[in-house]
Structure formats: C-alpha cells, structure tokens
Amino acid sequence: MRIAMIGTGYVGLVSGACFADFGHRVCCVDKDARKIDGLNAGVMPIWEPGLEALVKANVERERLTFTTDLPAAVEGAEAVFIAVGTPTRRGDGHADLTFVFEAVRELAKVMKPGTVVVTKSTVPVGTGDQIEAILKEEGVTGVSVASNPEFLREGAAIADFKHPDRIVVGAQDPQAEEVLKEIYRPLFLNRAPILITGRRTAELTKYAANAFLAVKISFINEIADLCEAVDADVQDVARGIGLDNRIGPKFLHAGPGYGGSCFPKDTLALLKTADIAGVDQRIVRTTVQVNDDRKAAMVERVSRALGGEVRGKRIGVLGLAFKPNTDDMREAPSIPLIHGLIERGATVRAFDPVARQQAEQVLSGVEFAKDAYEAADGADALVIVTEWDEFRALDLDRISSSLRGKVLVDLRNVYDRGEVEAAGLVHYGIGRGSPKAAAD
C-alpha cells in the first residue's frame, strides 16, 4: 500500500514509521520545514523510545520518506491519513479543527478518485461528515472518508502501535473498510482485535476512552485525599480494588492530576460535543473540575510540607514532562506547580532527563540542574513530579546530606515512607496516611 501521513508529530511520525515497518510505502508530510529537514538528516523532532532506530531502518529500506510537499506525498497514495494537531480552541474549549480543515483543502486540490482519507487525529463526532462536505465543495468525487482514532501512549508509542489493545475503524463504505483492513493486515495476523463501526461511533469512541481514563485517575486522586484524612494508604487501596478484574490495576496511581496533550483537551471537547447535543455529561464535567483543582492544589501541598511558607525557600523539582519517557510538556502538572511556587516567592531548580529543551519554552524563572543531585543541592525541599525510572533508585543518603531542609515531597509515590525516613528525611507522599503524621 502507498500511504501519505499528513502531520509528522507524536502520532503521525510513529504511525508512519510503524506502517512502513509493516511493509507499506509511507510518505510523511509536515508543513514545519525544520522538522522535515531534521528528519531527512536523521534527527528526531521528538523523544520517543525506539523511534530513531525504527525511522532509520525504514528510511534505509526506502519505505519511509519525509517532505513538506503535500501534493507530491499524496500522488499515488491509496490512503491519506490526517494526523495533525487538534488543540483546544480558544474561547469555547472545543477541538480546534483549523489544521484538519486546512489539510483537507490542500488535499482536495490533488485528490484522485478511489483514495481513502482517514482521520487519525482525535476529532469530534461529525468531523468526517464535515470533511466530506469540504471535499464535495472543492469538486472532489469518488473519495471515501474514514475514521481511525489512535490510542498510542507517548513513551510506549511503538509498542502500543504494534500491539494495540484494539484497532477502531469507522467506515461508511466497503472501499474504506477494505483499504484499512489491508493496511492493518499484519496486526490482524497477530490477532489484534479490530472494531469496524460507523464513522461517528469511531470518532466518539476515542473521546469516551480518554474521558473514562481521566475519570479513573480523578477517582483515585480523590480516594487518596480521603486516605490522608483517615490515615489509610491509597497504594494498598488501589491494589485492593485493581485486583478486581472488573476494575483493573491501570490508571489507579494517585498523583498531582493528569496532564498531557490528550486528556485535558479531549475531556473539554467531549463536554462541548455534549453541550451542542444538549446532553449533559456530569461525570466528565466534574472530573475536569476535580483535575484542574488538583493541579492548582499542588503548590499548597508543597507549602504545607515546608510549614506553610515557601517565600525565600529553594525547591528542587524532579521531572518536568507530563509523564516519564517523553519530552512532552503539554499541560504538564509541573507547570502550574513551578509557576505557583515562584509566584509565592520560592526559587526553583529543576531537572528532567529529556524535557529540558521543551521545558525552557514554557517555564520562566526556573534554573535547570544537570541531574537530580544538583537539583537537591542546598534546597529546602525536593519534589518528585514525574516518575522517571532514574528517580526510583536515588541515593537517598546523598540526597539527604545535600538537602538543606529534610523534606521529600513525593507526588508520584515513588518511595515508601520507611526508606525515606531511614535516610533522615520527612516523606510527604500522596494518600499515604496523614502527612501530618509524617512530620510528627
């Protein structure tokens, strides 16, 4: 199959490289010339485990190419995937489809009958219908529009793409269904479940999945607050409920609130879709509020660990990316925390294994450390915000001797209180009994 992938970001680049690895011929397009120049020189625009080797191997086999020239990429392609960003629209919180529609209008100029246009971007219900209308307006005929939402997670994107829990295809005609089945054939051979459904259902499935996961995270975060009030341990509660097959153990890690490029914007867009449809979604609405409040509350949590005042204090922060194994800073909980601490008069020295460059673009007034120990050096408290593996086995004695205040605020429950205390530090986890008890 010949495939064009429009948008070469986290989703487009991984999907394009994986499709090429399945044996298809893929041309990835992006309007960002720097990105494409870099890729043509073997430089990855994002940090994702295994991506560089996968791209290199498929470029060498001449199955994967990169260009800014959309008409050239689309020429001869049987399927054109749209994987451009769909950020939150300013003003009303709905998904901003500007990039999607711009791409469709460009496509329309060069589209040949028989091609299948597939939205891989997360798009609200009815976007496929709107794309069809634009193509019609531009005089394009004989083209199918399908939906194939992507469920990969940054940090494990290649494994997720190659071993998905399921593939969802929303197709309105046999032509689109056949082309997508052919593209994903290597995964059917591996027995990956495929759900073929209507286009609108596929579009909504992606939002429902992300909203459900957001609800699950917010649920355990609220249970963590209750654990603190009644001196119970959320880690054990999560394990106790997660072993129930009906609940499952994933997404039950209490923390500073969810961030990233998907959950915050997708929950907002789902609410907007529901508003337009006149159907309230109270659970998701509350989840959004709970999560916003939680992220904002982290400053106060650090302040409490420091006796109620951060002014004049130096805080070391470990982890900036919204989760480990990515450099993505979009909606990262580290951002409101660090800005809040600085606004209250603290100084912050932070370290992240890979996200520094991205962090520099969104954080102001922060010093960057070269490693975790430098972030801790002379600080009144050390705060773990992102649970990178390298923060799981810190030399706590070394941390303790370089910290000025003996306070570890562990927003990801990386450590047990006992081992932290053994190093002479006070441990403030999330939902691990009363933090006051920790200080006493």
**Residues at the contact surface with ligand NAD, assessed by CB under 6 A:** 6-12, 29-32, 35, 83-86, 99, 102-103, 121-122, 150, 152, 154, 261-262
Which is nearer to ligand NAD, 334 or 358 (by Cβ)? 358
Active site residue 18: no
Q: Is 73 helix (H, G, I), strand (E, B) or coil?
A: helix
Minimal distance, residue 244 CB to ligand NAD, in Å? 28
List, in order, residues 6 or more apart from 74 with CB less than 8 Å away: 4, 29, 80, 107, 110, 111, 115
Tokens 């441990």 belong to residue = 427
Farthest-apart Cα atoms in the chain, separation:
73
Which is nearer to ligand NAD, 192 or 296 (by Cβ)? 192
Q: How far apart are CA 22 and CA 186, in angstroms?
A: 7
Minimal distance, residue 222 CB to ligand NAD, in Å? 25
Which is nearer to ligand NAD, 332 or 426 (by Cβ)? 332
Q: Give the pairing of strands 25-29 and 2-6.
A: parallel
Minimal distance, residue 99 CB to ligand NAD, in Å? 4
Q: How far apart are CA 393 and CA 414, in angstroms?
A: 9
Which is nearer to ligand NAD, 83 or 317 (by Cβ)? 83
Minimal distance, residue 405 CB to ligand NAD, in Å? 37
Minimal distance, residue 11 CB to ligand NAD, in Å? 4
Q: How far apart are CA 116 and CA 329, in angstroms?
A: 33
Q: How far apart are CA 170 and CA 153, in angstroms?
A: 21
Of residues 18, 27, 28, 262, which has the active-site annotation?
262
Which is nearer to ligand NAD, 99 or 388 (by Cβ)? 99
Residues recorded for the chain: 440
Phi, psi of 169, deg, nearest 5: -125, 125
Q: Is 82 helix (H, G, I), strand (E, B) or coil?
A: strand
What residues act catalytically? 262
